[in-house]
């Protein structure tokens, strides 16, 4: 009986130790910090608004390629390159602008994604450069005395080439992942000219990439994009909400 009692005691001790070890393992698992993988790569796409406008507006032809590269968790190297051909018909002048442009800068993602989401609410900055020409199609001579009627349009036909402009652009927008690697987004842009090479006796009222000029050096823009992400590598990170709880 003594041996049986000793055996039972040892068995109970082993069971208690095993239970303690299992409980400790469960506790360790429950307090383990979750880790997720975030994708880093190149995202490229097009501006759908320029394509649509080319279809419905006979006075406009344009195309823009957009892209970004994820540098860190929050910062992206971003840029756009495009071409525009726009005929503008004002009260006093009718002219055609043709040229190309590119913009380069960065975007900061202010959105806190949950787990593996890759959506963006971003604020960014661009440096833009445009090379273009202006063709004066026709113009009206200013008549200070409208009592005598409006003077007929005078044919133009003069082309001014070798024009250029540089500007800074503030960008506010968002992107949403709709499929595994496909994103749609839009952005609003506010532009400020830094330099502007003008033709003699004629102002640059429209600049490719900058859009219509207001008050001589201020402009606004808008785009709606669809883009594709080409993943290059992944990084393991701790979710932001988990870090805040520590």
Are residues 26 and 41 part of one domain? no
Which of helix, strand or coil describes residue 3? helix
To which H or E segment does residue 48 belong? Answer: helix 48-56
The pLDDT score that the predictor gives to residue 87 is: 95
Q: What is the pLDDT of residues 76-107, one digit of tens each?
A: 999 999 999 999 987 778 899 999 999 999 99
The pLDDT score that the predictor gives to residue 29 is: 46
Are residues 181 and 64 part of one domain? yes
The pLDDT score that the predictor gives to residue 144 is: 56
Residues of the chain with pLDDT under 70: 1-33, 115, 140-157, 239-246
Are residues 127 and 52 part of one domain? yes
Are residues 107 and 75 part of one domain? yes
Are residues 64 and 9 part of one domain? no
The pLDDT score that the predictor gives to residue 141 is: 60
Are residues 210 and 183 part of one domain? yes
Are residues 93 and 18 part of one domain? no
Q: Confirm whether pTM is higher than 0.85.
A: no
Are residues 25 and 48 part of one domain? no
Are residues 25 and 45 part of one domain? no
Find out whether 210 and 191 touch, Cβ atoms under 8 Å.
yes
Are residues 11 and 84 part of one domain? no
Q: What is the pLDDT of residues 118-130, one digit of tens each?
A: 899 999 999 999 9
Are residues 10 and 83 part of one domain? no
Q: What is the CA radius of gyration of the chain?
A: 31
Are residues 92 and 11 part of one domain? no
Q: Give the total number of structural domains in the chain.
A: 2
Domain that holds residue 90: 36-245
Phi/psi of residue 137, each to 5°?
A: -80, -45
CATH number for the domain spanning 127: value is: 2.40.160.20
């Amino acid at each position: 009986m003594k041996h049986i009692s000793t055996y039972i005691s040892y068995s109970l001790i082993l069971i208690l130790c095993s239970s303690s070890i299992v409980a400790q393992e469960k506790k360790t698992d429950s307090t383990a910090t979750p880790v997720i993988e975030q994708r880093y790569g190149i995202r490229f796409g097009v501006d759908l608004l320029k394509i649509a406008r080319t279809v419905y507006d006979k006075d406009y032809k344009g195309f823009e390629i957009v892209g970004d590269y994820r540098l860190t968790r929050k910062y992206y190297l971003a840029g756009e390159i495009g071409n525009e051909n726009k005929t503008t018909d004002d009260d006093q002048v009718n002219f055609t602008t043709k040229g190309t442009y590119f913009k380069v800068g960065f975007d900061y993602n202010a959105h806190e994604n949950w787990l593996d989401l890759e959506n963006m609410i971003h604020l960014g900055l661009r440096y833009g450069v445009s090379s273009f020409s202006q063709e004066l199609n026709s113009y009206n001579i200013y008549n200070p005395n409208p009592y005598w009627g409006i003077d007929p349009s005078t044919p133009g036909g003069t082309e001014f080439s070798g024009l250029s402009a540089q500007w800074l652009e503030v960008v506010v927008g968002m992107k949403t992942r709709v499929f595994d690697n496909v994103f749609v987004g839009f952005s609003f842009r506010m532009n400020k000219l830094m330099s502007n090479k003008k033709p003699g006796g004629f102002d640059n009222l429209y600049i490719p990439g900058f859009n219509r000029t207001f008050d001589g050096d201020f402009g606004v823009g808008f785009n709606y994009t669809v883009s594709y992400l080409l993943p290059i590598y992944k990084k393991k990170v701790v979710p932001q909400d988990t870090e805040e709880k520590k």
